[in-house]
Structure 1
Amino acid sequence: MALPTDGFSRRSFLLGAASLAAVSALPACSSESSDTPKGASGGDKWKQFSGTTINFISENTSPSAAIAANLAPFEKLTGIKVNVQQMELDKVVEKVKLDFSSGTAQNHVIYADPYQILAPMADGLADLKPFLDSGNYPPMDGGLDDFISTQLSADGKFLDDKKIYALPYDAPTMILHYRKDLFEKYGPRAKADLGFDPTPSESMTWDQYYAVAQWFNVNAKKDVKYGIGAQAKQHDSLQCDFSNVLWSYGGDYFSKGQDLGLVGSTDPGQVTVGSPAGVAAATFYQKLIKAAHPSSTTWDWTGLSDAFTAGEIAMCPNWHEFAAGEEKAFPGKMGYALLPKGPSRRAHIFGGTGIGINANAKGNERGAAWLFVSWATSPQTQLMSLGSSVGGGTPTRTSVYNLPDVKAEETKSPSKYPNIRTAETVLEAWKAENIGLRPKVAQWVELDTIIYTELSKMLTAGTAPAAAMASMQQQMQKAMQ
């Protein structure tokens, strides 16, 4: 299915389900609520808030860049003007916190990071169920069942499974990115020296990953500086990178483990990060970073991606949505694989986020915000974002992956949907046995800072892994009290 040349016409948006397999609209009901304002009469529910201006605040992500570059179809469909403001996530968190506490809505649509905004500030977000059930609005194209179920819970719910605070908007997940051309060239020699196939695959372990990194460091200097890189800066990226290893070693942050990553809890159980499994993971991670590009401790995910596309490293774990840039840098030379296995399992941290509505929004702005949330997460808009020239995200709806046109592009390089090149790997990474979910607790922002600060000391100041994890455990326990 191709996008219409003028973006989304009203007809193509409303009738897009005819071209989308397995998509069915939610039935509208006649109930009305003061939380679901009704705009001007006239029969066209898309036009009822025409002339309204709303503000959307977002982390500077690929889907938001794609939407900001292609707002004309929404404005034509609704008559609503949308201002998109993008910035670093920590700045989004601070602005949203001020907005929620003010009692007014400077920003009407919120990029609601599940851990840094949704969990600690759920009361500031409107429950979207009344909008979904109201007869005041057009039926949601595709309905809730079209969203990937794990993402609907992880991105949109907190404590109460019956409420939905955000709809899945993006789905970044860490997988292994590697240069196929380098492994094709050096693979036979490395296999002879190491005794196993060095090419990333489902059978690769973390110990093998480390051995391959060391081999490239010594034997492939002509074509690449280092075998691996990492996002090990004192930053949220370090917690994300380490979590993959922690979970694969059988460790976790709380005794209730992965169950906390969906709806969350006020009672996550005991802090367990300092367990023997946690110490073993930290010990390996310290060794791994010593083998990585020495600038790794200065890189977040963007710095790591920049180094990869500059040809400085052969492979690395990173968010799968960086594939769009990598495919441009190395057309036909990119490969993607699941992350290596640890002693317990393999794990891929999920970094997806939903978008929701500021609970302070009132009247026409509140109604207009819902129309935008529904449009921005629709199958049609996700397809547009997937093929955007400014980057684009990957879909959070099953129907988009099932489109014949999309499936045909998975194996093409160059592909008109570059991020879909990762689809086979990332769909496997999202399975229950492979996904990695952080604990969704209200204290996560403070816990996150403790985790990456202690890890950074271990990597840059020589703190012993056991001591780093013991300090982390103690501080996390105190924060939870």
Structure 2
Amino acid sequence: MIEPRLSRRRLLGGAFAGGVALAAGGLLGGCTSRADARRLATDDRWRQFAGTTLNFISENTAPTAAIAADLAPFTELTGIRINIVTLELSALVQKVALDLASGQAQYQLIYADPYQVLAPYSKGLVDLRELADDPTLPGEVSDFADFVPVQLDAAGRFGTDGKVFALPYDCPTMIWQYRKDLFDKHHQRMADDLGFDPTPGEHTTWEQYLAIAQWFNDNTDEVRYGAGHQAKQHDSLMCDFSNVLWSYGGDFFANGFEVGRLGVVEPGPCLLTEDNAIEAAGFYQRLLSVADPASRTWDWDGLGAAFRAGRIAMCPNWHEYAADNESVLPGKVGYARMPRGPQRSANQYGGCGIGISANTLPNERGAAWLFLNWATSRDTQLRNLRSEAGGGTPTRTSVYELPEVRAAEHRPSAMPNMLTADAVRQAWLPENAGLRPKIPMWNECDTAIYTQLSRMLVGDASPAEAMRETTDRINRITARGWVAAG
């Protein structure tokens, strides 16, 4: 069954609810009809749309760089040509909103960020279960079970009706990255001075992490600071803080894991004024007071560059920086899940999926499914691990079980991102996963969070004041969103 294309009126409501203003001129394309892709009479299910050209719009990520460098096998298999457009995420969101609202499909394939695309625009995406179970196309719904469960839910679903709008495509996850060579060199002295084993592990707490950072500040010249953080007034600051917030038992909304896993339109009142959230903010303020002062100017890229330059001994960052770390600091970096707070370890998941625009015509939709099926397949993910052009880590559990991939978890490794495998496997367990709220208004809420945290870090607000102001702003934003969505 092919669902009717989303009406322009419904899509515009979702776009404005998601905080993206749509220019009227962007809607004119909906008045122009277009022909569907041609479908060939052939027994080869992979060749039935040969001659079709599709457009894939993606954030400029390492996995997309690897896919772009490896399109020849797909074209040889299917006869389909893929044009890839890569953009910074905010620019991508605006283009996707305009394209979905137009009633056309300039971009048949969409990098569906769970928070800025999937949550506000899920009605503009195809339910992939229908394509997976189409006997004329490769694939079946049972194959979805091969994806890491928390990733399929967080990156692919919105709502509790079982629909799957995107297949997990990348899976950046924040973990603890540290100079193993320096931890090994100073281990005994650190243990004697600190009174605990400083080796990063499942029992290490955030308070111990802070103490280790201070020890490096005071006792070594090999790095300028013990720790660095991605505390720029930017989305990265929300990500960095959230790991601490969740570990203290705080959250943005009630039932936070489910709000992050499946998403909701109405999340209820913000919880950042609760005691555990204020306690987490107070600890984060203390942590940043001993971290490299340049942390307040760094997003994840700046932090990664500082770590590789030997400026800091440890940091929380996305696990897919491992390949870059290994190229600059071969054999010197270790990886662990995040430290524990009073309640748990929490590791921010930042993965995204690929979806198909509901504006696609029937044959275009089938052709797009072939690419989506191929791009997230086990063989393609394995090639991406080896790619010199980029590449992330797999979203399918079967890839991790391959002997060559298992071997790559240890040095020397031809797949250096796999050096993080033990840490991310722990991070993806439901009890350790950190999932930000998947709600249509998240982009505005995110801005409110990092704006107030930034005020706190420069001393313009206390932790309690920052959390109170953030709560007030988020409650106004989500209330407005409920009205718009309704």
- Give me the whole-angstrom Cα distance separating, in 1, the residues matched to 2:2 and 2:469: 52
Q: What letter corresponds to residue 41 of structure 2 in structure 1?
A: S
Gaps of 5+ in 2: 6-35, 480-486
State the percentage of identical aligned residues.
55
Q: What letter corresponds to residue 443 of structure 1 in structure 2?
A: M
- Give me the whole-angstrom Cα distance separating, in 2, the residues matched to 1:144 and 1:58: 22
Q: Which residue of the partner structure matches residue 43 of structure 2? A: 43
User: Structure 1 segments of 4 or more deviating over 4 A?
Assistant: 31-38
Q: What letter corresponds to residue 431 of structure 2 in structure 1?
A: E
Q: Which residue of the partner structure matches residue 10 of structure 2? A: none
Alignment of 1:293 with 2:301, yes or no, is no
Gaps of 5+ in 1: 1-30
Is the contact between residue 49 and residue 364 of structure 1 (CA under 8 Å) also seen in structure 2?
yes
Going from structure 1 to structure 2, the CA distance change for 1:391 and 1:32 (only over 3 Å counts) comes to: closer
Q: What letter corresponds to residue 423 of structure 1 in structure 2?
A: A
Compare 456-465 and 282-291 and name the one that shifted more: 456-465
- Give me the whole-angstrom Cα distance separating, in 1, the residues matched to 2:45 and 2:324: 39
Is the contact between residue 133 and residue 140 of structure 2 (CA under 8 Å) also seen in structure 1?
no
Going from structure 1 to structure 2, the CA distance change for 1:250 and 1:106 (only over 3 Å counts) comes to: same
Normalising by structure 1, report the TM-score.
0.90
Q: Which residue of the partner structure matches residue 138 of structure 2? A: 138
Give how far 1:266 is off.
2.5
- Give me the whole-angstrom Cα distance separating, in 2, the residues matched to 1:333 and 1:217: 19
SS at 1:143's partner residue?
A: helix
SS at 2:334's partner residue?
A: strand
Q: Which residue of the partner structure matches residue 12 of structure 2? A: none
Q: Which residue of the partner structure matches residue 480 of structure 1? A: 478
Q: Which residue of the partner structure matches residue 425 of structure 1? A: 423
Going from structure 1 to structure 2, the CA distance change for 1:455 and 1:33 (only over 3 Å counts) comes to: closer
Give how far 1:140 is off.
5.2
Q: Could you tell me which of 445, 448, 451 is aligned with 1:450? A: 448
Alignment of 1:71 with 2:71, yes or no, is yes
Give how far 1:72 is off.
0.6
Is the contact between residue 231 and residue 296 of structure 2 (CA under 8 Å) also seen in structure 1?
yes
Give how far 1:300 is off.
0.9
Alignment of 1:385 with 2:384, yes or no, is yes
- Give me the whole-angstrom Cα distance separating, in 2, the residues matched to 1:142 and 1:378: 14
- Give me the whole-angstrom Cα distance separating, in 2, the residues matched to 1:244 and 1:404: 32
The CA deviation string for residues 347-406 of structure 1, in whole angstroms up to 9 with x for no partner, is 001111110001112244322211110100000111011111123111111110001111
Number of aligned pairs? 449
Q: What letter corresponds to residue 349 of structure 1 in structure 2?
A: Q
Q: Which residue of the partner structure matches residue 101 of structure 2? A: 101
Q: Which residue of the partner structure matches residue 466 of structure 1? A: 464
Cα RMSD for the two superposed structures: 1.8
Q: Which residue of the partner structure matches residue 27 of structure 2? A: none
The CA deviation string for residues 34-81 of structure 1, in whole angstroms up to 9 with x for no partner, is 899882112211111111111111111111111011111011111111
Give how far 1:341 is off.
0.7
Give how far 1:318 is off.
0.6
- Give me the whole-angstrom Cα distance separating, in 2, the residues matched to 1:37 and 1:152: 29
Compare 135-144 and 381-390 and name the one that shifted more: 135-144
Q: What letter corresponds to residue 122 of structure 1 in structure 2?
A: S
After superposition, residues 109-188 of structure 1 pair within 5 angstroms as 109-139=109-139, 143-188=143-188
After superposition, residues 184-333 of structure 1 pair within 5 angstroms as 184-221=184-221, 223-333=222-332
Q: What letter corresponds to residue 420 of structure 1 in structure 2?
A: M
Q: What letter corresponds to residue 40 of structure 1 in structure 2?
A: L
Compare 386-395 and 173-182 and name the one that shifted more: 386-395
- Give me the whole-angstrom Cα distance separating, in 2, the residues matched to 1:142 and 1:158: 19
Give how far 1:462 is off.
2.9
SS at 2:335's partner residue?
A: strand
Give how far 1:141 is off.
10
Is the contact between residue 114 and residue 353 of structure 1 (CA under 8 Å) also seen in structure 2?
yes
SS at 1:441's partner residue?
A: coil
Going from structure 1 to structure 2, the CA distance change for 1:317 and 1:74 (only over 3 Å counts) comes to: same
- Give me the whole-angstrom Cα distance separating, in 1, the residues matched to 2:421 and 2:80: 34
